[in-house]
Structure 1
Amino acid sequence: MYRVLIPLDESVDRGLTQAEYLIGLPVDAESVEVVLMHILENVKQDVPDAMRKPGRVNSVRRVRDLLEDSGFDVRVERAAQSPTEAIKSKAAELDADEIVMGGRKQSPAGKVLFGSVTQSVLLNSDLPVVVTGGS
């Protein structure tokens, strides 16, 4: 089983681009396990646990639905730590084969550098990291 980790934020467009990359690969969807991970940052401690569920986040729901409709086995998880550490630890826990990050549009000068989380994952991962187009 090929395992792919897709970290998501609140951007629906960026998440759908990540999903479309995976859908476009010449693979049998049934042979791929996808873990969508929504990272909770700056969540107040008094927020009820039910409100923290990643399935409540529009980007997570839309990406999950698109991938499941395309035949992929999808699991949704959350993390409540720094994004870079969450991605690294989840990839190791899953024994992931690939990480699919969402890129962001940047100015011409800014294209030399990625966002800090994406850049950190790219520079510190032993896994293949794909960065999809940004929005």
Structure 2
Amino acid sequence: MAIETMLLAVGPSDRDRIDRLTEETLDVAGPTGATVVVGHVFTRDEYEDVLEKLEFDREVDEVSADDVAGRHTTVRDIVDRLDEAGVDYEIRGAVGDHADSIVELAEDVTADRVLVGGRHRSPTGKAVFGSTAQTVMLEAPCPVTFVRSGTR
């Protein structure tokens, strides 16, 4: 199956794994010529915090989640590397539950592959606290590549 559109899903906790996520994305998207959708998902509280930190004036500026995502440092670092590699991309933002928003983004952009990062967790940790990556892997409309940060 050819990959035409790939969703690279990132969030506030992905800063420490940006290099690995970007490398994996380039490994898949570069040779296939796929368009990468860099999707940054915020919870409502994260979104409000970022709006404040980036000094958006909501009374003057019409602000979308896409605008906020495009100004986020993590996304800018990723798109700089995609630009260097000559990979086509677009930026999408979403506000809501991380896992549900990633699955919705994948459906909206008709993704052929989703790439999501995470950390190693014990089975008990997943059962007690849930796992965004696990939910995405089970509910995404396409194959999901999980990029784990660090070592066990």
Q: State TM-score, norm by structure 2.
A: 0.73
RMSD: 2.8
Task: Note the 1:18-33 alignment, pairs <5 A.
Answer: 18-25=21-28, 27-28=30-31, 31-33=33-35
- Which of residues 37, 61, 65 is equivalent to 2:39? 37
Report 1:40-55 matches (<5 A).
Answer: 40-41=42-43, 42=45, 43-44=47-48, 48=58, 49=63, 53-55=68-70
Give the stretch that moved more between structures: 20-29 or 41-50.
41-50
Q: Which residue of 2 aligns with 1:89?
A: 104
- Kindly report structure 1 stretches of 4+ aligned residues shifted beyond 4 Å: 111-115
Partners in 2 of 1:71 and 1:129 — Cα distance? 23
Q: Percent identical across equivalent pairs?
A: 23
CA distance in 2, matches of 1:32, 1:68: 13
How do residues 56-135 of structure 1 correspond to structure 2 at under 5 angstroms? 56-106=71-121, 110=122, 116-135=131-150
Partner Cα distance (1:111, 1:64) in 2: 34
Work out whether residues 106 and 140 of structure 2, in 8 Å CA contact, stay in contact via their aligned partners in 1: no
Inter-partner Cα distance in structure 2 for 1:96 and 1:78: 15
Is 1:6 aligned with 2:21?
A: no
CA-CA distance at 1:16 after TM superposition: 2.4
Task: For structure 1, list consecutive stretches of 5 or more residues without a partner in the other structure.
Answer: none
Q: Is the 2:69–2:93 Cα contact (8 Å) retained in structure 1?
A: yes
Q: Contact conserved, 1:18 with 1:132, CA < 8 A, in 2? A: yes
User: Which residue matches 1:16?
Assistant: 19
- CA shift, 1:27, in A, is 4.6
Q: Which has the larger radius of gyration?
A: 2
| In structure 2, distance between residues paired with 1:126 and 1:23 | 21
Higher helix proportion: 2
Q: Aligned equivalents of 1:23 and 1:113: distance in 2?
A: 31
Decide whether aligned partners of structure 1 residues 34 and 113 sit closer, same or farther in structure 2, where only a CA change above 3 A counts: farther
Deviation at 1:123, TM superposition (A): 1.6
Give the Cα separation in 1 of the matches to 2:98 and 2:78: 19
